[in-house]
A = this chain, B = another copy of it.
């Protein structure tokens, strides 16, 4: 499961490259017009003037397509994050974690639709591996939690805690807080910190 080889093979046939561009253009256009959620793979294929088979050959599902569309923004996000982590490396881990979350939540607000599109995998999704974005985020979270909690055997497992926090950052949980509970991004950030960063580590 999950090749996630989203880098198009170096030597792409000319017609294939052209179709890839058509797909991307069509998707961006329709997403912009009707919203990611409302647009089906069929519609994209039609708009791109290719057969459904061709579309599915390149992107196994809508999730992969969304991933491709958001890739560059994700790279920029992590550039920002790494830069901020470096710039505040003297700060306690709790503070840096808060910064990281701040960056991500801002990103999540801007890219809400595509992120949701990425996470809506259709039923045959079994063990649900993380998509690259969440993988990379997970890595950083683990690092920070290890700094906060150490690696003592009896304590919280940093990987576990990172998993929990990551779930809280996913579309389903986040949008429920935003829409169902009516919380602002700032409130959510605050509550996430209170929930996942121990009191002692939250001090500036």
Contact A164 B173, CB 8 Å, known A123-B120, A127-B179, A155-B194: yes
Q: How far is the CA of A176 from the CA of B129 in the complex (A)?
A: 8
B120, B160, B180: the one within 8 Å of A195 (CB): B160
B164, B172, B180: the one within 8 Å of A129 (CB): B180
Which chain A residues numbered 150 to 204 have a C-beta less than 8 Å away from chain B?
Answer: 155-157, 159-161, 163-164, 167-168, 172-173, 175-177, 179-181, 183, 191, 194-196, 198-199
Q: Which residues of B contact A37 (CB under 8 A)?
A: 123
B168 touches A164 (CB 8 A): yes
A34 at the binding interface (Cβ < 8 Å):
no
**What number of copies of this chain does the assembly contain?**
2
B129 touches A161 (CB 8 A): no
Contact A180 B127, CB 8 Å, known A160-B195, A164-B164, A164-B195: yes
Q: Which residues of B contact A160 (CB under 8 A)?
A: 177, 181, 183, 191, 195
Q: Which residues of B contact A127 (CB under 8 A)?
A: 175-176, 179-180
Assuming A157-B191, A164-B168, what are 20 further A-B pairs, CB within 8 angstroms?
A37-B123, A120-B123, A127-B175, A127-B179, A127-B180, A128-B180, A156-B194, A159-B181, A160-B183, A160-B195, A161-B191, A161-B195, A163-B173, A163-B177, A163-B181, A164-B173, A167-B167, A167-B168, A167-B172, A198-B198
Q: Interface on A for B, CB 8 Å cutoff? A: 37, 120, 123, 127-129, 155-157, 159-161, 163-164, 167-168, 172-173, 175-177, 179-181, 183, 191, 194-196, 198-199
Q: Which residues of B contact A181 (CB under 8 A)?
A: 159-160, 163
Q: How far is the CA of A164 from the CA of B195 in the complex (A)?
A: 9
Rounded to whole Å, the gap between the CB of A108 and the closest CB of chain B is 16
A128 touches B167 (CB 8 A): no
Q: Which residues of B contact A129 (CB under 8 A)?
A: 180
